[in-house]
Amino acid sequence: MPQPPVYNPSRRKSRRRALDVLYSADLRDIPAAGVLADTLTRMGTEVPPHMAYAVEVIEGVEANAVRIDELISSYAEGWTLDRMPVVDRNLCRIGVYELLYRDDIDDAVAISEAVELAQELSTDESPRFVNGLLGRIAEYAAR
């Protein structure tokens, strides 16, 4: 019998930190690597353990940005990347990265974590939008 997806609180912190960096880079129209470097410098020697996964996510999103954005654009019914709220756009990027490039993360976990962050940080409509978009991309990826 399949096991239910496992919630990992440190991964949620990692995703939140990755979102902070990607959001800031997106708003400022600069590479996320620069924002990440500044963030790590500010932390000094006190880098929390959850930052390791956050760095992986940020670097993974940047390395695969063209493909990730193509998929989001293709499956976002009636929305362009530019019209999406910045938070939603970057939550979807994190979600798509986890769906396509992280075999250690169950699709349901990647989607539910993105939806939870959308509920916490974005508009009332965002959780449904993020859930639908990532669900369609997960179906595509499962083919």
Spell out the domain ranges in the chain: 9-142
The residue ranges of the chain whose pLDDT is under 70 are 1-9
pTM equals 0.92
Give me the CATH topology for the region 9-142: N-utilizing Substance Protein B Homolog; Chain A (1.10.940)
pLDDT in tens, 114-139: 999 999 999 999 999 999 999 999 99
pLDDT in tens, 57-72: 999 999 999 999 999 9
What is the rounded distance in angstroms from the CA atom of residue 116 to the CA atom of residue 41?
29
- CB–CB of 126/87 below 8 Å? yes
